[in-house]
A = this chain, B = another copy of it.
Amino acid sequence: MKTKQQLDADMRRLAQMIEGFNVAMLTTVSEDGSLHSRPMATQYANFDGALWFFTHAHTHKAEDIARYARVNISYVDPDKEEYISISGTAELVRDREKIKAIWNPVYKTWFPQGLADPDLALLKINLEQAEYWDSQASTMAQIVGPVK
């Protein structure tokens, strides 16, 4: 068992690593049971135990999570040899106040209509477990249980 201090240090390092990434891969389970990934623009906000991504409300991935909410988020940087795997549950959030609070013009690349887009929504990923491989520091940490 890890001490609380070790877990806190692992969590700080995880948050620091995530904040260095612009794009995550989101893996969902499709209707036929196959697993699909796609790149997602990651939020430019502090990591607070949940991950938020902009999406359109009517997409395959939203259908996937409505049927099966368990997902994986991975972050990969082959040059730095940094790899992160986050297991969690996803939910679609259409609350306009939350959307406005997170919106940043940088997302216009993917959502050109911005806040005027009635289909604009958020995917909230509630973290259940996280693992990271930090090759430069030669460490691998497994963080089990709800990540706060």
Contact = CB atoms under 8 A, between A and B. Distances in A.
B128 A34 contact: yes
Contacts of A79: 79
The dominant DSSP class at the A interface is: strand
Contacts of A34: 70, 72, 87, 128-129
Nearest to A74: B37
- The complex is assembled from copies of this chain, and their number is 2
B33 A72 contact: no
Interface residues of A, number: 29
Interface string A126-148: 00110101000000000000000
Given A74-B74, A76-B76, A79-B79, A35 B27 contact: yes
Given A38-B85, A39-B83, A76 B33 contact: no
Interface string A95-137: 0000000000000000000000000000000001101010000
